[in-house]
Amino acid sequence: MRFPAKFARAKEGGFVVTFPDIPEAITQGDNIDDAMHHAADALESALDFYFEEGWRVPMPSRPKRSQRMVELPASVSAKVLLLNEMIR
């Protein structure tokens, strides 16, 4: 499961990463590679709140041209699908 992420240049340098589908996931990095690494961690951490609260996790939207895709580990993707099925 891959979620689109927006990588915006920060005024102080580096990049701020946000996820349109998971607004709780926000992070930053010194460069694109660093930001991508932190993005994966931030996405997983934000999804933990959904799991703990029993909230339905939105499915990934289609990426816009300027967005990058951040992939979840297979175990987290399975957990998302299972949680959403249980809620449904």
Answer yes or no: pTM beyond 0.85.
Answer: yes
Q: What is the pLDDT of residue 18?
A: 98
Displacement of CA 86 from its chain's centroid (Å): 21
Confidence of residue 2 (pLDDT cuts 50, 70, 90): very high
pLDDT digits (tens, 9 = 90+) for 41-50: 999 999 999 9
Return the structure tokens found at 20.
């349109």
Confidence of residue 71 (pLDDT cuts 50, 70, 90): very high
Confidence of residue 14 (pLDDT cuts 50, 70, 90): very high
For residue 9, the cross-strand partners are 15
CA distance 79 to 61: 18
* 2-9 vs 15-18, strand pairing mode: antiparallel
Question: Domain 2-87 - what CATH class?
Answer: alpha beta
CA distance 57 to 24: 12
Going by C-alpha positions, the residue among 77, 81, 80 that lies closest to residue 2 is 77
pLDDT digits (tens, 9 = 90+) for 16-27: 999 999 999 999
Mean pLDDT (whole number) for 32-46:
97
